């Protein structure tokens, strides 16, 4: 295959659907290396609660963008985009296939379109907007935005304070209208977005997935999730809101504060994980391009060579 047109293979699906085993099979059979697209696998020591591939699994196939930050350190989409571009280029330069796998929607979207706003808002502009909000509230911010962009109500939900703040800051900073800023954002591109992709989304029926979630949560607790969180807490986990607020970790931290019994902890993690899976399904349906869908409940555990047919 010509390196210039070598596609990026993307395998996704909601949490606990069964991505790890199939990604390993396919990668081994197709000379691929795996690029993680999971927003928690970045963090060293967050192993049990993330269902991170075991060392033996990572030894079978080279994995990238796993264990690249301490759990106390933030990782954002800009960092990820830069690293992902470099990693994909390196893998393809060695004539290997790239298999992206994970279920973190915003990071996954980086492979299909723009996700990073290139407008840098100065502290002075942020302070100006904050002063308007403090004195005149949402209505005052909308009036200020209308002075800069008379058509802003056609482009923006002006009842949403967070979006109004964001729009006002960017309009002030650039002198552009909301529409112009949106068009400039949509026109952004990068090597990941431009590369051809082959997308497969794994599915299971609700009961099957829920059973798998319950088993996974039970296994996490049996394998030492509470002890893992205690250790990470001592290493500064709570300094990283993204990591400490993630499902499995935030509930366990609450348990350690005495807010849950162990039985309630297991039930709560499972409930929150089921809700996450429901949100992920909606996100994949509305935010990703059309790809191949495989129902693992109906079709069984697909063989590696059928994933991207």
| pLDDT top residue among 65 and 188 | 65
Question: If you average pLDDT over residues 181-188, what whole number do you get?
Answer: 82
Query: 100 - beta bridge partners?
Result: 10, 35
92-119 burial: b if 16+ Cβ within 10 Å, else e = beeebbbbbbbbbbebbbbbbbbbeeee
pLDDT at position 185 is: 81
Q: How far apart are CA 302 and CA 69, in angstroms?
A: 33
Does position 3 have pLDDT exceeding 50, yes or no? Answer: no
pLDDT at position 28 is: 95
pLDDT band at 187 (very low <50, low <70, confident <90, very high): confident
Best mean pLDDT range from 118-122, 185-189, 279-283: 279-283
Q: What's the distance, CA 280 to chain centroid?
A: 10
| pLDDT top residue among 146 and 186 | 146
Q: Apex CA 289: angle with CA 284 and CA 294, to 5°?
A: 60
Does position 191 have pLDDT exceeding 90, yes or no? Answer: no
Does position 247 have pLDDT exceeding 90, yes or no? Answer: yes
Contacts of 270 (CB under 8 A, 6+ apart): 213, 214, 217
pLDDT band at 2 (very low <50, low <70, confident <90, very high): very low
Q: How far apart are CA 100 and CA 196, in angstroms?
A: 13
Length of the chain counted residue by residue: 309
Among the four given CATH numbers 3.40.50.300, 1.20.1730.10, 1.10.760.10, 3.60.10.10, the one describing domain 3-114+190-306: 3.40.50.300
Coil, strand or helix at 14: coil
Query: 201 - beta bridge partners?
Result: 12, 293
Question: If you average pLDDT over residues 30-53, what whole number do you get?
Answer: 96
What's the pTM value of the predicted model, to 2 decimals?
0.82
| pLDDT top residue among 9 and 74 | 9
Question: If you average pLDDT over residues 22-51, what whole number do you get?
Answer: 96
| pLDDT top residue among 74 and 58 | 58
**Closest of 89, 49, 64 to residue 233, by C-alpha:** 49
Extents of the domains making up the chain: 3-114+190-306, 123-187
Question: If you average pLDDT over residues 26-48, what whole number do you get?
Answer: 96
Q: Apex CA 116: angle with CA 194 and CA 202, to 5°?
A: 60
Q: How far apart are CA 35 and CA 232, in angstroms?
A: 25
Per-residue model confidence as pLDDT tens digits over 70-102: 999 988 888 999 999 999 999 999 999 999 999
Question: If you average pLDDT over residues 14-30, what whole number do you get?
Answer: 94
Among the four given CATH numbers 1.10.20, 3.30.1490, 1.10.3470, 1.10.10, the one describing domain 123-187: 1.10.20
């Amino acid at each position: 295959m010509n390196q210039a047109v070598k596609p990026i293979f993307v395998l996704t699906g909601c949490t606990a659907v069964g991505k790890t085993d199939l990604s390993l099979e396919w990668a081994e059979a197709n000379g691929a290396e795996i690029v993680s697209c999971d927003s928690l696998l970045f963090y060293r020591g967050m192993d049990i609660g993330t269902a991170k591939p075991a060392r033996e699994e990572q030894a079978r196939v080279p994995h990238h963008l796993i264990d690249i930050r301490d759990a106390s350190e933030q990782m954002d989409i800009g960092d990820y985009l830069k690293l992902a571009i470099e990693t994909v280029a390196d893998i393809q330069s060695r004539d290997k296939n790239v298999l992206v796998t994970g279920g973190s929607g915003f990071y996954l979207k980086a492979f299909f379109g723009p996700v990073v706003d290139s407008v840098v808002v100065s502290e002075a502009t942020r302070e100006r907007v904050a002063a308007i909000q403090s004195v005149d509230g949402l209505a005052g911010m909308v009036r200020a935005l209308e002075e800069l962009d008379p058509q802003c109500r056609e482009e923006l939900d002006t009842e949403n304070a967070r979006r109004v703040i964001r729009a006002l800051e960017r309009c002030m900073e650039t002198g552009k209208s909301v529409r112009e800023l949106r068009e400039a954002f949509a026109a952004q591109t990068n090597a990941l977005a431009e590369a051809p992709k082959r997308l497969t989304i794994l599915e299971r029926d609700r009961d099957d997935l829920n059973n798998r979630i319950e088993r996974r949560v039970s296994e996490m607790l049996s394998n030492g999730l509470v002890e893992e969180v205690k250790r990470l807490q001592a290493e500064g986990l709570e300094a990283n809101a993204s990591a400490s607020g993630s499902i499995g970790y935030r509930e366990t931290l609450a348990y350690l504060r005495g807010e849950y019994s162990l039985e309630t902890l297991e039930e709560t993690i499972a409930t929150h994980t089921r809700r996450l899976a429901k949100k992920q399904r909606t996100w994949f349906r509305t935010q990703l391009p059309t790809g191949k869908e495989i129902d693992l409940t109906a079709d069984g555990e697909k063989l590696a060579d059928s994933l991207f047919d």
